[in-house]
């Protein structure tokens, strides 16, 4: 039993050519072909904060459904964080999590049934401040650790962490294995390993990486990261 997950900061669907092109983002997701995707910056920042990936495009151009977060009518996510799942994956539970923050930040979570196996997913986009990132990591890790006591758990997102030995990683490492898919930022010349995937011992990582394609190199300022897992 295996599952592929991915994390992608889509920068509100604005590419390096400064064009907002949601269909281009969806084509990148099609290239990755993950079962579950955590998105960051999936909503516009101001006004009604509507989703940058219209529902009609999801329905007509992908096999994905957005986890309903019941926050704002026109938004896909919570502070820009969203979760997409392939059609056929059952949604058992979903929630939003308030975390300590300097900037507007939040975490989204869903409990899924993937080919008969239960999987909890936590999607996040952490603060630019190192002090606040560490506090956020501690709060998220504690909540996710509770989920991992009963079923497989994966955490992923844009951690905004440049330092390999930062407090952010120390907090997550208390409970989870931290994968390093590779440099994913900036898409034009990737050097920052900001996008990470973490997992509990109920999942065995088979492979992980950064999705590099001509389309992904233009679609956002981040490249997507992915990981393949076997259920232990």
pLDDT tens across 85-144, in order? 999 999 999 999 988 777 778 899 999 999 999 999 999 999 988 889 999 999 999 999
CB atoms under 10 Å from CB of 101, counted, come to: 17
The count of other CB atoms within 10 Å of the CB of residue 96 is 15
Q: Are 185 and 222 in contact (CB under 8 A)?
A: yes
Q: What is the pTM of this model?
A: 0.95
Please give the pLDDT value at position 106. 83
Q: Give all domains of the chain, ordered by start, each with its CATH number.
A: 2-231 (3.60.10.10)
What is the DSSP code (8-state) at residue 173?
H
What pLDDT, on a 0 to 100 scale, did the predictor assign at position 47?
62
Do residues 181 and 227 make contact, with C-beta atoms less than 8 angstroms apart?
A: yes
Q: Which two tokens stand for residue 136?
A: 């956020």
- The 10s digit of each residue's pLDDT in 22-32 is 999 999 999 99
Please give the mean pLDDT across all residues of the chain. 94
pLDDT at 74: 72
pLDDT at 77 (0 to 100): 86
């Amino acid at each position: 039993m295996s599952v592929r997950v991915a994390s992608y900061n889509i920068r509100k669907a604005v590419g390096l050519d400064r064009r907002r092109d949601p269909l281009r983002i969806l084509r990148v997701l099609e290239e990755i072909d993950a079962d579950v995707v955590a998105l960051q910056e999936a909503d516009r920042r101001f006004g009604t904060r509507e989703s940058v990936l219209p529902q009609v495009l999801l329905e007509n151009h992908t096999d994905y459904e957005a986890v309903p977060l019941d926050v704002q009518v026109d938004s896909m996510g919570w502070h820009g964080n969203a979760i997409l799942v392939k059609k056929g994956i059952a949604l058992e539970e979903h929630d939003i999590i308030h975390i300590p923050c300097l900037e507007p930040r939040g975490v989204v979570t869903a409990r899924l049934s993937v080919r008969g196996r239960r999987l909890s997913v936590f999607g996040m986009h952490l603060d630019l401040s190192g002090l606040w990132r560490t506090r956020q990591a501690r709060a998220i890790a504690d909540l996710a650790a509770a989920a991992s006591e009963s079923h497989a758990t994966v955490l992923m997102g844009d951690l905004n962490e440049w330092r390999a030995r930062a407090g952010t990683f120390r907090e997550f490492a208390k409970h989870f294995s931290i994968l390093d898919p590779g440099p994913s930022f900036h898409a034009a010349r990737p050097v920052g390993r900001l996008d990470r995937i973490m997992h509990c011992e109920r999942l065995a990582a088979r492979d992980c990486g950064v999705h590099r394609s001509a389309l992904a190199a233009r679609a956002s300022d981040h490249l997507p990261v992915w990981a393949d897992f076997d259920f232990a």
